[in-house]
Amino acid sequence: MTSTLTATVRRTARLRAAFPTGVATARQLADLGIPQRTVYHRCLEGGPWRRLLPGVVLLSNGTPTIDQLLYAALLLGGPESMISGLHACRMQGMRRGPVGRAGPADVAILVPASRQVRSVGFVHVERTARLPDAVLRSGFPVAPAARACLDAARRTGSAAEITEILSDAVQRRLCTVADLATELREGSRRGTAMPARVLSDVAAGVRSAAERDARRLWQRSGLPQARWNVAVYGPDGAFLGIADCWVDGVAMVWEIESSEWHLSPEDHDRTVQRAARFVAAGAVYTATKPKRISTAPAEVAEILRETYARAAARPRPPLRAEAPRT
């Protein structure tokens, strides 16, 4: 009994050393001296291992972690494969929208077009002749930010979620609008109609789904053209804040008060202080909750027209706005 237990412990230790991720292919296990028949027998119901994908095994019978699923997907894809889509976005620092909710069903990989690998189980495989140079994040090869974002956007049916993906990447300076436009132009045309429309809003300065809805309401309101997410400076050159929507001709600010970003009392205080600075410097200021834009658009538009009229009726203060400094 003792010798059998010792042999089991040694075998387990050897497997852990060889496969620290806890995931291996049947071929790798065979190279270690474990016959494929034994491998698949251990993956039967009630056995000590689990089959994750064709030829890919979890060396335990528990629930795999997200990292283990990603490793399994890369093993399926082969040596040149890389993570793309939502998980690649997450590993590069994005958190908003669907990226923050990415789960086991959202694993996407890129593989060379010459690889005969198909989507299976939880893995979406894209064979591509435009395989980018991978970047290493948390030990994983992942697609560059612009490619990962567009790959995720092409598989997302919601304009709001696409806005969160693209605008978060731009706001975090993981890529530029130009990078996204290039990827959109040169990449796969499949599923790009909605991302293209959203990207035009992001290029105009929109940085959230709520702001995209606001911009579209503004365009229907009959009011003059506005600018989005611009830095505003006072008469003495002091920075006042970033205006969600800025109407330069009358120095008017429209703030989209999304509670999603007020994650702490400190964040809310900063929003209040920014509004106070705008008003103290002479800007005419109004704010709207995102829900009102969708539930009462006519009322919001009327308030905007009244606010604009009030701003136009007084002398314009010497305020200056420009694209935010990087």
How does pLDDT run across 278-297, given as a tens digit for each residue?
999 999 999 999 999 999 99
Look-up: residue for tokens 């002091």? 238
pLDDT surpasses 80 at 266 = no
Residue 146 CB contacts under 8 Å (≥ 6 apart), including other chains:
169, 175, 179, 180, 182, 183
Whether 196 and 115 map to the same domain: the answer is: yes
Whether 185 and 228 map to the same domain: the answer is: no
Q: Assess if residue 171 is contained within a domain.
A: yes
SS3 of 86, please? Answer: helix
**What pLDDT is recorded for position 264?**
57
Q: Assess if residue 58 is contained within a domain.
A: yes
Whether 120 and 179 map to the same domain: the answer is: yes
Q: What is the mean pLDDT of residues 35-44?
A: 92
pLDDT band at 262 (very low <50, low <70, confident <90, very high): very low
Q: Assess if residue 7 is contained within a domain.
A: no
**Distance of alpha carbon 76 from alpha carbon 116, whole angstroms:** 11
| Count of C-beta atoms within a 10 Å radius of residue 11 | 13
pLDDT band at 142 (very low <50, low <70, confident <90, very high): very high
Q: Which long-range contacts (CB under 8 A, 24 or more apart) does 183-188 make?
A: 183/146, 183/147, 183/149, 183/150, 184/150, 186/130, 187/130, 187/147, 187/150, 188/126, 188/128, 188/154
107-112 and 23-25 as β-strands: parallel, antiparallel, unpaired? Answer: unpaired
* Single pTM value for the model: 0.85
**What pLDDT is recorded for position 317?**
97
- Structure-block tokens of residue 223: 């009011």
**What pLDDT is recorded for position 8?**
60
Q: Assess if residue 38 is contained within a domain.
A: yes
**What pLDDT is recorded for position 326?**
41
pLDDT tens-digit series, residues 223-255: 999 999 999 999 999 999 999 999 999 999 999
User: 90: exposed, middle or buried (C-beta count within 10 Å: 0-12, 13-18, 19+)?
Assistant: buried
Please state the separation of Cα 226 from the chain's center in Å: 27
**What pLDDT is recorded for position 269?**
77
Answer yes or no: are the C-beta atoms of 94 and 161 closer than 8 Å.
Answer: no
Q: HSE on the CB side for 149, CA within 13 Å?
A: 35
Q: What is the mean pLDDT of residues 147-163?
A: 95
pLDDT surpasses 50 at 59 = yes
pLDDT surpasses 70 at 176 = yes
pLDDT surpasses 70 at 115 = yes
Q: Give the range of the structural domain holding residue 128, as residue numbers without chain letter.
A: 79-203
Q: Rounded mean pLDDT of the chain?
A: 92
Helix ranges (H only) for the chain are 2-18, 26-31, 36-42, 66-77, 85-91, 145-154, 159-171, 177-186, 193-203, 209-220, 265-280, 290-295, 297-312
Could you tell me what percent of the chain has a pLDDT over 90?
83
pLDDT surpasses 60 at 263 = no
The full length of the chain comes to 326
Whether 194 and 118 map to the same domain: the answer is: yes
List strands edge to edge, sheet with 227-233: 284-288, 252-256, 239-247, 227-233, 320-322
Whether 264 and 243 map to the same domain: the answer is: yes
Looking at the DSSP assignment, which residues form a beta bridge with residue 123?
A: 107, 120
Q: Assess if residue 195 is contained within a domain.
A: yes
**What pLDDT is recorded for position 239?**
96
Q: Assess if residue 275 is contained within a domain.
A: yes
**What pLDDT is recorded for position 4?**
52
pLDDT band at 98 (very low <50, low <70, confident <90, very high): very high
| Count of C-beta atoms within a 10 Å radius of residue 65 | 14
Which CATH number is 229's domain given?
3.40.960
Q: How many domains does the chain have?
A: 3
**Distance of alpha carbon 149 from alpha carbon 85, whole angstroms:** 6
Q: Assess if residue 165 is contained within a domain.
A: yes
**Distance of alpha carbon 166 from alpha carbon 149, whole angstroms:** 6
